[in-house]
Structure 1
Amino acid sequence: MIRADDPFDTYLLRVLCTLIAEQSVSRTAIRLNQSQPAISAALKRLREIFGDPLLNREKNVMVPTERAVQLARSAQAALVALDKLLVDEEAFDPATTEQNFTVAMPDYLAPTFFAHVVKAFRASAPRARLVTQALGPQYDYEQALAEGTVDIVIGNWPSPPEHLHLSVLLEDEVVCVLADDNPLAKAGKMTAEAYLQAPHIVPMPYSRGQRGVVETGLGTLRLHRDRKVSCPYFSLAPNLIPGTDLILTTARHFANYYAASLPLAIVGSPISFPFMRFYQLWHPSRHRSASHVWLRGLLTDASEELRRLRDMPRQA
């Protein structure tokens, strides 16, 4: 995400690194919360500066040049160095701190993610206190971040607030979870028509004014699914599927976690949904706080567990 308070003009460097990583103007725009024309203009400027095309289109994909890969490595190293310069050198030692840290999050992440967070937190900061805050339609997380009552908010909304800082924890594909004896699961493949006609279980929204990736994707395509069952928690939904004809549409890592212990099958979505992007959000006022940088790093390290779950051997 682009920082409005960045004292150095690092915008082009950040665009360069993200473009090379994503190899897509549209995905770069999403990741940096910028418009596609803005990213296209930045790419044009970068090409002029370095005298190199940087990205070439080959068979409908953007491929970075050798020069671009080298530049991105140097740019990333420079950005890391600059970020370190901007971190407050306040007296913070996780081993002795008695601070309270509060993380607001829904339960759509596999439980092992936060288990890793708690384990690392207790090992590194035994005298500190970690508080989790549930998100819900009536909870104003933006105000909580501004007031400092919450340190981090974990979300996966398609359009996070632009005034907040963001770092991505995981990008995950959308899949369908069914009972393993569901005829649609036995077929191993589902048509869009079958998906839309089937009964669905849908967790309740956890944020006001924000629709999730699935609802946003369906709305864009002007499609509607048959919402037969609603439940208050994401983690409850998989347990309600066995023995029914219900479909849960969710992230791959979440599906893999529950399919490992319940009689469930995972089928690729017949609807082309965007990837789910799970990220942590924080207020600009806390960006350079040493204790906050430490907490964000803890969450980032724990996100490796989400990637492990996502990359488990896949079913259909």
Structure 2
Amino acid sequence: MAGRAAFDKIELHLVRVLHTVITERSVSRAALKLATTQPQVSAQLRRLRELVGDPLLVRSGTGMAPTAVALELLAPAEALLRHAEQLFGARTPALAFDPATTRLTFRIAASDYLDPLFLPELVARIKRDAPDARVEILPLSREFDYRHALAHGEIDLVIGNWLRPPGELHLGRLLADEVVCLVAADHPAATNPRGWTAERYLAAEHVAPTPLHAGTPGVIDEHLAAQGLARHVAVRSPHFGLVPLMVARSRLVLTTGRLFCSRYVGQFPVRIVRCPVAFPPLVYYQLWHDLSHASAAGRWLREQVRTLARELQAQGARAMP
């Protein structure tokens, strides 16, 4: 790291360059955001590498990725710029955010359990208001460590449902959805709803999403286990959007939120029936790390998610009989 003499030569603009290069993951995009030239940013990046003793930004596939050291420096750099803003009473350009002109990449890890319209509508809204922004959607899967990714600045936001969300992350509740069953139109649960008992529900063949983590049962089975109950899961699939068609062509039972199921009634020969076992509502959250908590871009993104979730829930409530 830099000695005292080198430290005294570090100006605020160099911290701005460090913050912008790491968040943009591109020298050319950083130059655009800083309203300067690519050679100037490259020269400043070389100076930063000498001061820190780390490459900071390295090639990864077809793009660039920040090193572990760079990600460790991101939060202190953002804090320093924010403190400078408070100290001098002016908006620091590195932290300014204008959706209409931003070229940031928003990285969102999300499940597809909530509503098949949610992610398409979210992307449409982001692109409407931030036309030059890029959006990367990553699946929540058992191979993906979203907590590590959030802590290292690899993603900005996680959207999903948990019985007990991780305590170390910031949390925003989006909506609560009634748990129901989706079955084929000729399934006994649909043709004889009075005979659809808890015993028959547990004995039926069920289809369920692949758990997010190895060794964990998933939200529905976790709740059943807490009551000393277990169902027969005949099919597990990581592709939740394909499950309604599986249900339509079989005797499988899907247990999930009403909002998701309602999108497929009328599209496939399926019916929504009550769940004869009592479940608490499925609660969906957005999670983010302290790393991006104060970011203006992060706040804007979270507001888009929150507003959309409320609107979709209101639409679902109006559509209910």
> Taking structure 1 as the reference length, what is the TM-score of the superposition?
0.69
**Residues 156 and 212, structure 1, Cα contact 8 Å, conserved in 2:** no
**Residues 157 and 210, structure 1, Cα contact 8 Å, conserved in 2:** no
- AA of the residue aligned to 2:265: A
> Matches of 1:246 and 1:309 in 2, distance apart?
28
Q: SS of the counterpart of 1:101?
A: strand
Match of 1:111 in 2: 116
Structure 2 residue aligned with 1:172, among 153, 174, 177?
177
Structure 1 residue aligned with 2:275, among 266, 269, 278?
269
> Taking structure 2 as the reference length, what is the TM-score of the superposition?
0.68
1:225 aligns with 2:231: yes
User: Any runs of at least 4 consecutive aligned residues in structure 1 with deviations exceeding 2 A, and if so which?
Assistant: 206-213, 312-315
Q: SS of the counterpart of 2:263?
A: helix
> Matches of 2:309 and 2:252 in 1, distance apart?
29
1:242 aligns with 2:248: yes
- AA of the residue aligned to 2:247: I
- AA of the residue aligned to 1:160: P
> Matches of 1:277 and 1:210 in 2, distance apart?
18
Match of 2:155 in 1: 150
Match of 1:23 in 2: none
1:130 aligns with 2:135: yes
- AA of the residue aligned to 2:139: A
RMSD: 1.9
Higher Rg of the two aligned structures: 2
CA deviation string 1:127-179 (max 9, x = no partner) = 11111111111211001000001000112011111110011111011101100
Unaligned runs of 5+ in 1: 1-84
**Are the structure 2 counterparts of residues 140 and 292 from structure 1 closer, same or farther at C-alpha, using a change threshold of 3 Å?**
same
Q: How far does residue 211 in structure 1 lie from its aligned partner after superposition?
A: 4.3
- AA of the residue aligned to 1:296: R
Q: SS of the counterpart of 2:101?
A: coil
> Matches of 1:307 and 1:301 in 2, distance apart?
10
**Are the structure 2 counterparts of residues 140 and 285 from structure 1 closer, same or farther at C-alpha, using a change threshold of 3 Å?**
same
1:160 aligns with 2:129: no
Q: SS of the counterpart of 1:195?
A: helix
Alignment of 1:81-92 (within 5 A): 90-92=95-97
> Matches of 2:315 and 2:222 in 1, distance apart?
25
Identity, % of aligned pairs? 41
Structure 2 residue aligned with 1:303, among 286, 309, 313?
309
**Are the structure 2 counterparts of residues 309 and 263 from structure 1 closer, same or farther at C-alpha, using a change threshold of 3 Å?**
farther
Q: SS of the counterpart of 2:117?
A: helix
Unaligned runs of 5+ in 2: 1-85
Match of 2:292 in 1: 286
Aligned residue pairs, count? 229
Match of 1:193 in 2: 199
Match of 1:50 in 2: none
**Are the structure 2 counterparts of residues 277 and 312 from structure 1 closer, same or farther at C-alpha, using a change threshold of 3 Å?**
same
1:93 aligns with 2:98: yes
Q: Comparing 248-257 with 188-197, which one deviates more in the overlay?
A: 188-197
**Residues 178 and 185, structure 1, Cα contact 8 Å, conserved in 2:** yes
**Residues 206 and 231, structure 2, Cα contact 8 Å, conserved in 1:** yes
